[in-house]
């Protein structure tokens, strides 16, 4: 009805013009009600009859008041839009400014209520001013946190990319080592066999590592313990085992071996200086049955 009066005043409508305009804007139940009224009724009489017929009941006013106190500010609703809606609802239920101020303060968003309570506004205009400042501060804080989140996300993506590139490079390097490695050429075929010099060096190193130690303090063939074998220098053939090794009995593999020819410990049969004993079967080899003490080596 207030909108009707504003428009009628703006257009400076006459009494008949007001009645005709009211008949046009009414809808549904109100339109049916208007058709039952006498045609001779004046505009003022129609207004009073309308207010008596469609005025708010106590139940309807209670429902509107309850809706006002339950109204909360939307997530993307500004302070001004929320306050305007609350004022309209308060006018419908004839709420005073004090109750309206409490209802507005209750319905503000949680991030705004703290600033409003700290300011302790005493009027609706002061409450609106404080709520606007709190709204601007919350928007600035949200924008700053968004920027920080984006920076953190970009840094994490860059770190993940660097780690991925390092892992890819490591995998490529390992794959290249597996494809082209020792003993395998580029197409997967085996390389050439090791040289004789390399094989001899490997055998010498193994003998040096696993060389036996003397079990007693008696040097074989009259030599002092730890002395270099007579008749040779370092690097020449050993006169006890025939091999090439460092000087010293700890490097000689014949140190604890019993000769099959003279039955003495300290040299091999092929390096024995004693006269060769013929085998009983006519051969030139060693007869194991002729030497029962073969398995009885001297021990420390």
pLDDT exceeds cutoff 70 at 203: no
In-domain check, residue 102: no
pLDDT digits (tens, 9 = 90+) for 8-27: 888 888 888 887 888 888 88
pLDDT digits (tens, 9 = 90+) for 218-259: 444 444 444 444 444 445 789 888 888 888 888 898 888 899
* Greatest mean pLDDT range, 29-43, 183-197, 198-212: 29-43
Domain containing residue 280:
217-300
Tallying the residues shown for the chain, one arrives at 300
Distance CA 39, CA 35 (A): 9
Structure tokens at 85: 């809606």
Band (pLDDT 50/70/90 cuts) for residue 104 is: very high
Average pLDDT over every residue of 269-296: 59
Domains identified in the chain, total number: 2
Distance CA 83, CA 101 (A): 9
pLDDT at 225: 44
CB distance 300 to 216 below 8 Å: yes
Those residues whose C-beta lies under 8 Å from the C-beta of residue 236, and which sit 6 or more positions away, are 244
CB distance 285 to 279 below 8 Å: yes
| Distances, alpha carbon 81 to alpha carbons 17, 46, 68, 170, in Å | 35, 34, 14, 60
Global model pTM greater than 0.85: no
């Amino acid at each position: 009805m207030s909108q009707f009066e504003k428009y009628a005043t703006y257009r400076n409508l006459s009494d008949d013009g007001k009645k005709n305009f009211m008949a046009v804007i009414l809808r549904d139940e109100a339109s049916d009600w208007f058709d039952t009224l006498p045609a001779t009724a004046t505009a003022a009489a129609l207004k009073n009859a309308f207010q008596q017929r469609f005025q708010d009941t106590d139940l309807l006013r209670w429902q509107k008041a309850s809706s006002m106190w339950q109204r909360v500010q939307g997530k993307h609703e500004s302070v001004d839009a929320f306050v305007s809606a609350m004022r309209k609802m308060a006018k419908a239920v004839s709420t005073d400014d004090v109750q309206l101020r409490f209802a507005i303060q209750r319905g503000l968003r949680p991030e705004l209520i703290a600033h409003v309570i700290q300011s302790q506004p005493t009027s609706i205009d002061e409450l609106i001013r404080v709520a606007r400042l709190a709204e601007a501060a919350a928007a600035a804080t949200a924008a700053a946190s968004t920027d920080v989140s984006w920076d953190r996300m970009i840094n994490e993506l860059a770190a993940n990319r660097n780690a991925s590139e390092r892992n890819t490079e490591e995998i490529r390097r390992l794959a290249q080592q597996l494809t082209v490695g020792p003993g395998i050429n580029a197409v997967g075929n085996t390389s050439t066999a090791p040289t004789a010099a390399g094989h001899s060096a490997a055998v010498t190193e193994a003998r040096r590592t696993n060389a036996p130690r003397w079990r007693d303090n008696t040097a074989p063939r009259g030599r002092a313990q730890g002395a270099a074998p007579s008749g040779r220098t370092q690097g020449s053939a050993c006169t006890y085992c025939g091999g090439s090794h460092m000087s010293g009995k700890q490097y000689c593999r014949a140190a604890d071996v019993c000769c099959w020819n003279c039955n003495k410990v300290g040299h091999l049969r092929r390096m024995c200086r004693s006269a060769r004993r013929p085998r009983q079967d006519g051969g030139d080899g060693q007869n194991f049955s002729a030497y029962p003490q073969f398995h009885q080596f001297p021990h420390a």
